[in-house]
């Protein structure tokens, strides 16, 4: 028997008792003319007796050789109307095939609609609990992780642009509040400052942070307050920064001297790479203040310095790597974390031994100085001036050995190294990149330096207060390329309200400083490099500028960073002429990492300025 095909297209629907007949005219196949005439009639199946009779006549007339589909009334099945094609041979086998097709398609459609149903259910629950809106397409286990691309701050900025400036996302099993508004950020760090004073704990970083007891990762409480107090008083206070100004000046001069040696014998400009030089400078500054040693430079070629540089490089690489396992359920996340944790365990053990050796060395030196002091061979003033941060904590350790043990010292040193090195070096690299793409701004900074600093004298930190345009260049650089585009993650200690929404306890907070500092509602021409905007309004209110965070967990190293960046950037511009390598502007692509480095290390053309050659020769 020849198979014929009946297509269910845009069907009509008429009630016929408890059943509904769905039908449409045949597609072009060789049927008898009578059947065509009947099938092209209007839809049948009404409550009237005449209509029911016509349906029965149709069934009898068509017989077993033609299909008739009678379906119980169900609105949910209407969606199949453009998909179903059945054989015209009416038999039990064809009916079973139809049922199987309906079942498969129903299952397929259910899977397609499941995320939407879950989202609608979740949205209803959020409205009842007064939670912030959540982006659609959240998946089981993953949540919104599949929507996140690198770099993270840009991906979250795009989500906020589509769905709102306050979002409650789910990164795996972690609820994450994403804030991209200056007013909401200010509310988080003023009204709810205490509520968001905690830090989230990530399993993969447990070892590197000494079981989450380091300054950057410790939960809010007495231990964190004590550690922050020591870091502020012994390293980052105004008094200690002034005392260590010679350290920063020496490193800035050493950088200028090395650049001069690399370029002085060249007739024209010399190609130089800046990232490694700037990172070495920042690392030497921090290590000199904390342990009294420097590990970068020509005179730092011993085995200890080499091991330290290898350790730092691997530590920063590992710290900047993302680990999705931190956001997944423990059993699932373990498989993704185990390789990273193995590497971190190796780095932690190596670093811990290195730092312990430094602590022991300083302990022996202090004991020796005390013996010399008792013998009258060491002046007390010299002892005070030579005191590093480790020395200060070792003196506290004698009276409070349990509170200030060696782990306390090692965790504080590693935290300050991480926070005070590539942050400063990246900012200088971004500033140089922006100035090379805007040579008129570069020349304006140089003219200001030449006007305020005597000819032939190198810039020092006391001159920075007289250089407002240089300060504006640094602020504009931090606005466009903040060292922490999402700040350091916070976590809510308790339930609170932000923007009128309820925020549950244990919610991780990400404040998108990158998006806020490029918000066109706050900053005219937000993507342009315009240092002049900070000359007109030197003090920015509220949460509009957040390069160092806000609130009680604000970065305590702002003073050090501004002094170091100002001194080094000013020295580079005062002593050398700079040009791009090619005629095209430098690519300003952002790389991935905790501190948003340039995607590619900065290379530029450099030569000494004639007015500064004699000064550089004396370094």
Question: Can you spell out the DSSP letters for 545-590?
Answer: --TT--STTS-TTHHHHHHHHHHHHHHHHHHEEEE-SSSSPPP--B
Model pLDDT for residues 230-255, shown as the tens digit of each residue: 999 988 999 999 999 999 999 999 99
CA–CA distance, 309 with 153 (Å, rounded to integer): 29
| N-term to C-term CA, the chain | 103
In order of 65, 74, 91, 294, the CA distances from 20 in angstroms are 21, 9, 20, 87
Report, as an integer, the average pLDDT of 412-419: 91
Q: How confident is the model at residue 124, as a pLDDT?
A: 53
Q: Tokens 């390598």 appear where?
A: 581
CA–CA distance, 186 with 512 (Å, rounded to integer): 12
Model pLDDT for residues 179-220, shown as the tens digit of each residue: 999 999 999 999 999 999 999 999 888 888 999 999 999 999
Model pLDDT for residues 502-524, shown as the tens digit of each residue: 999 999 999 999 999 999 999 99
CA–CA distance, 66 with 60 (Å, rounded to integer): 10
The confidence band for 31, taking pLDDT boundaries of 50, 70 and 90, is very low
Q: Is pLDDT above 60 for 35? A: no
Q: Of 28-37, 308-317, 457-466, 597-606, which range is least confident? A: 28-37
CA–CA distance, 406 with 409 (Å, rounded to integer): 5
Mean pLDDT for the chain? 82
Q: What is the largest CA-CA distance in the chain?
A: 126
Rg, C-alpha atoms of the chain: 35
Q: How confident is the model at residue 113, as a pLDDT?
A: 57
Q: Is pLDDT above 80 for 336? A: no
The confidence band for 297, taking pLDDT boundaries of 50, 70 and 90, is confident
Q: How confident is the model at residue 537, as a pLDDT?
A: 74
Q: Is pLDDT above 70 for 106? A: no
DSSP character at residue 166: E
The confidence band for 109, taking pLDDT boundaries of 50, 70 and 90, is low
Q: How confident is the model at residue 478, as a pLDDT?
A: 98
Q: Is pLDDT above 50 for 347? A: yes
Model pLDDT for residues 253-281, shown as the tens digit of each residue: 999 999 999 998 777 899 999 999 999 99
The confidence band for 83, taking pLDDT boundaries of 50, 70 and 90, is very low
Q: How confident is the model at residue 15, as a pLDDT?
A: 41
Q: How confident is the model at residue 104, as a pLDDT?
A: 63
Q: Which domains does the chain have, with CATH numbers?
A: 5-110 (no CATH), 203-617 (1.10.630.10)
Residues in Cβ contact with 501 at an 8 Å cutoff, skipping those fewer than 6 apart: 130, 131, 132, 166, 168
Residue 16 annotated as lining a ligand binding site: no
Task: Give start and end residues of each alpha helix (H) in 375-488.
Answer: 380-385, 389-399, 406-420, 422-437, 439-452, 468-480
CA–CA distance, 179 with 511 (Å, rounded to integer): 5
| Burial of 509: CB neighbours in 10 Å, binned 0-12, 13-18, 19+ | buried
Q: How confident is the model at residue 316, as a pLDDT?
A: 74
Report, as an integer, the average pLDDT of 584-611: 93
Q: How confident is the model at residue 100, as a pLDDT?
A: 62
Question: Can you spell out the DSSP letters for 518-530?
Answer: T-TTTSSSTTS--
CA–CA distance, 506 with 128 (Å, rounded to integer): 19
Report, as an integer, the average pLDDT of 448-465: 96
Q: What percent of the chain has pLDDT over 90?
A: 60
Q: How confident is the model at residue 374, as a pLDDT?
A: 79
DSSP character at residue 403: T
Q: How confident is the model at residue 437, as a pLDDT?
A: 98
Model pLDDT for residues 48-74, shown as the tens digit of each residue: 455 445 444 444 444 444 444 433 333
Q: Of 48-57, 93-102, 462-471, which range is least confident? A: 48-57
């Amino acid at each position: 028997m020849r198979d014929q095909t009946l297509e269910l297209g845009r069907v009509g629907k008429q009630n016929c008792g408890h059943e509904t007949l769905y039908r449409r005219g045949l597609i072009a196949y060789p049927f008898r003319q009578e059947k065509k005439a009947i099938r092209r009639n209007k839809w049948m199946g009404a409550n009237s007796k005449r209509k029911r009779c016509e349906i029965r006549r149709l069934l009898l007339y068509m017989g077993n050789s033609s299909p008739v589909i009678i379906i119980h009334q169900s609105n949910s099945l209407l969606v199949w109307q453009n998909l179903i094609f059945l054989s015209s041979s009416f038999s039990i086998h064809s009916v079973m095939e139809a049922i199987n097709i309906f079942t498969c398609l129903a299952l397929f459609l259910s899977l397609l609609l499941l995320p939407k149903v879950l989202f609608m259910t979740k949205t209803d629950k959020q409205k009842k609990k007064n939670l912030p809106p959540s982006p659609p397409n959240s998946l089981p286990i993953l949540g919104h992780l599949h929507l996140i691309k690198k770099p993270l701050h840009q991906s979250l900025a795009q989500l906020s642009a589509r769905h709102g400036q306050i979002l409650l996302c789910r990164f795996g099993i972690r609820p994450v509040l994403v804030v991209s508004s200056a007013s909401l950020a200010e509310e988080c760090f003023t009204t709810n400052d205490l509520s968001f004073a905690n830090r989230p704990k990530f399993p993969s970083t447990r070892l590197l942070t000494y079981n989450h007891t380091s300054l950057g990762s410790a939960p809010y409480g007495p231990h964190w307050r004590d550690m922050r107090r020591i870091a502020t008083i012994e390293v980052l206070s105004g008094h200690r920064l002034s005392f260590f100004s010679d350290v920063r000046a020496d490193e800035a001069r050493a950088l200028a001297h090395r650049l001069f040696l690399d370029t002085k014998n060249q007739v024209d400009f010399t190609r130089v790479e800046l990232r490694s030089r700037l990172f070495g400078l920042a690392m030497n500054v921090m290590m000199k203040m904390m342990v009294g040693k420097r590990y970068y430079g020509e005179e730092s070629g011993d085995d200890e310095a080499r091991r330290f540089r290898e350790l730092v490089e691997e530590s920063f690489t590992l710290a900047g790597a993302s680990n999705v396992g931190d956001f997944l359920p423990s059993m699932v996340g373990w498989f993704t974390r185990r390789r990273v944790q193995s590497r971190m365990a190796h780095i932690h053990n190596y670093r811990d031994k290195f730092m312990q050796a430094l602590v022991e060395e300083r302990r022996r030196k202090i004991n020796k100085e005390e013996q010399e002091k008792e013998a009258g061979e060491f002046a007390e003033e010299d002892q005070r001036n030579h005191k590093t941060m480790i020395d200060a904590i070792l003196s506290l350790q004698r009276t409070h050995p349990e509170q200030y043990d060696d782990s306390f010292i090692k965790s504080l040193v590693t935290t300050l190294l991480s926070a005070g090195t590539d942050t400063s070096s990246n900012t200088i690299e971004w500033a140089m990149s922006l100035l090379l793409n805007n040579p008129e701004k570069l020349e304006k900074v140089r003219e200001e330096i030449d006007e305020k600093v005597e000819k032939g004298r190198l810039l020092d930190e006391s001159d920075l207060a007289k250089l407002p345009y240089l300060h504006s260049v640094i602020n504009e650089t931090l606005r466009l390329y903040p060292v922490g585009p999402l700040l350091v993650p916070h976590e809510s200690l308790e339930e609170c309200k932000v923007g009128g929404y309820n925020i549950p306890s244990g919610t991780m907070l990400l404040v998108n400083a990158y998006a806020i500092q490029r918000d066109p509602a706050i900053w005219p021409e937000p993507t342009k490099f315009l240092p002049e905007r900070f000359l007109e309004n030197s003090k920015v209110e509220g949460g509009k500028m957040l390069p160092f965070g806000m609130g009680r967990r604000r970065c305590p190293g702002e003073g050090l960073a501004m002094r170091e960046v100002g001194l080094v950037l000013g020295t580079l511009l005062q002593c050398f002429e700079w040009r791009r390598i090619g005629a095209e502007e430098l690519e300003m692509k952002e790389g991935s990492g905790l501190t948003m480095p340039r995607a590619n290390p900065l290379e530029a053309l450099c030569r000494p300025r004639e007015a500064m050659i004699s000064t550089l020769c004396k370094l």
